[in-house]
Amino acid sequence: MLFGLAVTCGFRFEVRPEDDIVELQADHHTAHVCSSCLVLLTVHRRVHRMKVEKVIAEMATPVPLVAEV
């Protein structure tokens, strides 16, 4: 049985196997996305002229998973 590292996709917040994750870099920001989300980002960039660099910066900013009460 093989065990691998699981990484959270910054676009959908899904845990995926390490070999399904791609590291994106823009300016001084780094974000990790799965290959499926990479396709979505690529299509949106091409069709809607979306600024992926801004999305990478947003994904690189830590977000608490549980809201404080």
pTM value is: 0.69
Condensed to tens digits (0 to 9), the pLDDT of residues 11-53 reads 777 788 888 888 989 888 888 888 888 888 888 888 878 788 8
32 near 6, Cβ under 8 Å?
no
> SS3 helix, strand, coil % of the chain, rounded to 5?
40, 25, 35
